[in-house]
Structure 1
Amino acid sequence: MMQRLLSGDYPRSRALTVLLLIIGVSLALGPFLFPGVRAFSMLGMICVFIIVVASYDLMLGYTHIVSFAHTMFFGIGAYGVAMATDAFGSGYGALLIGIGGALLLSILLSLLLGLLSLRVKAIFFALVTLAVAFAFLSLVTQLYNLTGGEDGLAMRVPRELGPAFRPFDEPWVGFDVVGFFTGLFSDPAGAFQNALFDVRVSGKHLMYYVAFVSAVLVFLFLLRMVNSPFGRVLQAIRENEFRAQALGYRTVFYRTAVVIVSALLATLAGVLFALINRYVNPENTLNFELMVFILLMCVIGGMGTLYGAVVGTAVFLLAQNYLQDLLKLLAGGAEPGSLLEHLVGPDRWLLWFGLLFVLSVYFFPTGIVGQLRLWAARRRQRRAGAGRVADQGEQHHAS
């Protein structure tokens, strides 16, 4: 059952398996394990960007297509539902209209970009997609009457997906894992009791689990795709497109199909982002900085693995949201006026954020997932080599 679910593509590393289990359990039970609006919002963004990064990895890691228009499709999904609910109300009919329109526009634009890859390759295709993305961003900011310009649009969600919807009268019990381990040092006797908190289940929890289930289904779908004959052709194109053409594969069809699938999944992620965030503007959906962040998540996790999308997204967003708090804690423990206090000041979090990325690339040149798999493979080879030596020694002794 597990082999069919994961399409035979296992983590192939005990450390990676443990890491994925921690991330999976944290996301599945997150609203009941980590209290606070900030943690809840970050968990939702992890679910959304797992879809974004995994779909981008399908292009970059498996087919070697470098595109800078991925945020454009993400923004199309977000603006599609936001504009539809702004025009037709917050009902499910408006949502369907927005989702359908966004997917249709994404299909048309991705088809054009995919066919464009016939003419230009590698860095030239990346530059074309960059120009298209900037043109789309400029169009969104200028069409103020439709998109709200730089001010953006407030998302109107159905009542069942909003915080006002309370399906249960009694609150549910949550267990603050972080608070429990922190309390073990200050109050060991009352750590368990102090970690309990009430969870007022509302429509936003329903929306979160819609995003979580969508992320799981998209991940399993992509895992199935890259481990199918279709995926094998994609990897052949990545390694040597000329050889794949010589073997009779129509590489143009495969490259175009990958661009379309990736665009549709990014559009779906944009829809989920708008429903969770309930506010859309060019900065949080179409900004080029967001495209750089998606690329960093893909590289940190490990390109061409899909598991890297899960790990890279979780690590990146955790660092982005909590690195400043960690530096503030370290600065509070340093001597006032010392060099250490200036170095670990909260306002220097971007410096440490960049340093962490450099260190991750240095120690994990193939990404976290790729490096963990490589280390696990080396350990298996050493054990196999030691086993063969022992067998030879026993045979020699017996003779």
Structure 2
Amino acid sequence: MFNRILSGDYPRSRALSALLVLIGVCLALGPFLFPGVRAFSMLGMICVFIIVVASYDLMLGYTHIVSFAHTMFFGIGAYGVAMSTDAFGSGFGAVFIGIGGAVVMSILLSLLLGLLSLRVKAIFFALVTLAVAFAFLSLVTQLYNITGGEDGLAVRSPRELGPAFRPLDSSLPGFSVIDFITGVVGQGSIGQAFNDAVFEVRVSGRHLMYYITFAISLGVFLFLLRMVNSPFGRVLQAIRENEFRAQALGYRTVFYRTAAVIVSAVLATLAGVLFALINRYVNPENTLNFELMVFILLMCVIGGMGTLYGAVVGTAVFLLAQNYLQDLLGLLVSNAEPGSLFAELAGPDRWLLWFGLLFVLSVYFFPAGIVGQLRLWAERRRERKADKTPAASPLKQES
């Protein structure tokens, strides 16, 4: 069963399997484990950016296509829903109209970019996509009457997906992991800490929207896992390793490269739609900014390119660090002497410095990404065990 679900592509590492299970459980039960709007929002963003990073890895990690226009397709999905609901109301019909228009536009633009890769390759193709992305950003910023300019647009999501919708009259029990750990450390009583950590969750349309996003994220991940382990995916990997040899074997590499760009663009557009419905607000800074493209690239590199599992791990690690590193630094310097060197270096306003340092360390200790390095270590352990296993004697083999 698991062989079919995972398309035969297992984590191949016990540590990686445990990490993926932990992330999966936290995402599946997150609204009932981590109270607060901030944690809820971060869980939704992890689900959204798993789609974005996994679709980008399809181009970068499996086909070796370096594109800086991925956020453009992400923004097309977000703005498509925002403009559609602004024009046609907050019903599901308006949402589906926005999705349809955004997907069609993304297919056309990605088709042009894919065909452009026939004439412009490698770093020159990356520069062209960068220019296209900046041109689209300028267009969105200047068309104030349509896109809201730099102010952005509010997304009028359906009532069933908002906080005002209450599908259940009674609240459901929840359990705060953070409160439980804090209680154990502070009180030393597990029972008392457990009682203090139990709370009630008021189920609303926001929870419905979150689990729709979670289900789509899981479905997209399994779809991409199936794709890269199919004959189509094997050809993409052959193009990545040696495109001229793939052409010599008779494969139309332009078709495969273009198909990879289109699939990646459509999935990024879908992620943009989910982002708009969760945040209920879009602007150029949170959907089209070049900094967001750099973050997507970092998530892909940290997790491990060409693995897909790396998209899950890299997204979770990056967003956790981005959201809670500043709080952790504030906790560390809370008891430090004001004005000391440690307080100055580890202050919460220095979080970007430490964030960059963590990235450098992750690249140094995990040169193949977290997933790639864990798989490499697991493979080395299996080889050492195989070398230590005594070979069977000839007499036993004959018998």
TM over 0.5: yes
CA distance 1:39–1:395, change in 2 (3 Å): farther
Q: Structure 1 stretches (4+) deviating beyond 4 angstroms?
A: 392-396
Aligned to 1:37: 37
The 3 A distance-change label for structure 1 pair 353 and 395 is farther
Aligned to 2:186: 186
Q: 1:179 Cα shift?
A: 1.3
TM-score (ref. length: structure 2): 0.97
Match of 2:215 in 1: 213
What does residue 101 of structure 1 align with? 101
Partner of 1:288: 290
* Larger displacement relative to structure 2 (365-374 or 169-178): 169-178
Task: Compute the displacement of 1:337 (Å).
Answer: 2.4
Residue of structure 2 equivalent to 1:245: 247
Q: Map residues 1-399 of structure 1 onto 2, 5 A cutoff.
A: 1-187=1-187, 188=189, 189-387=191-389, 390-391=390-391
Q: Deviations over 1:171-200 (max 9, x none)?
A: 111001121112102121410000001100
Q: Deviations over 1:30-50 (max 9, x none)?
A: 000000000000000000000
SS at 2:391's partner residue? helix
Deviations 1:343-386 (A, max 9, x none): 11000000000000000000000000000000000000000000
Which whole-Å deviations, capped at 9, do the CAs of 1:37-70 have from their partners, x for residues lacking one? 0000000000000000000000000000000000
Q: The residue matched to 2:173 in structure 1 has which SS?
A: strand
Distance (Å, rounded) in 2 between the aligned partners of 1:243 and 1:168: 59
SS in structure 2 of the partner of residue 38 of structure 1: helix
SS at structure 2 position matched to 1:242: helix
SS at the partner of 1:201?
Answer: coil
CA distance in 1, matches of 2:21, 2:127: 38
CA distances 1:225-270 after superposition (whole Å, capped 9, x unpaired) = 0000000000000000000000000000000000000000000000
- Distance apart, 1:77 and its partner CA: 0.1
Deviations 1:261-298 (A, max 9, x none): 00000000000000000000000000000000000000
User: The residue matched to 1:118 in structure 2 has which SS?
Assistant: coil
C-alpha separation in 1, matches of 2:105 and 2:185 = 55
In structure 2, what is the Cα distance between the partners aligned to 1:137 and 1:395? 74
- Give the C-alpha shift of residue 392 in structure 1: 6.2
Alpha-carbon shift at residue 336 of structure 1 (Å): 2.7
Secondary structure, counterpart of 1:156 in structure 2 = coil
Q: Unpaired segments of 5 or more residues in structure 2? A: none
Q: Percent same amino acid among aligned pairs?
A: 82
The one-letter amino acid of 1:36's match is G
Question: Aligned equivalents of 1:201 and 1:295: distance in 2?
Answer: 35
For the residues of structure 2 that align with 1:181 and 1:282, how far apart are their CA atoms? 39
Per-residue deviation at 1:222?
0.1
Q: For 2:391 and 2:292, locate their aligned partners in 1 and report how far apart those are by CA, in whole Å.
A: 55
**Normalising by the residue count of structure 1, what TM-score does the alignment of the two structures yield?**
0.97
DSSP-derived class of the 1:68 partner = coil
CA distance in 2 between partners of 1:104 and 1:337 (Å)? 57
Separation in 2 of the partners of 1:374 and 1:230? 25
SS at match of 1:29: helix
The CA RMSD over aligned residues, in Å, is 1.1
Gapped regions of structure 1 (runs ≥ 5): none
Deviations 1:98-137 (A, max 9, x none): 0000000000000000000000111000000000000000
How many Å apart are 1:333 and its aligned residue?
2.4
Letter in 1 for 2:103: L
What letter corresponds to residue 379 of structure 1 in structure 2? R
Q: Aligned partners of 2:342, 2:233: CA distance in 1, in Å?
A: 50
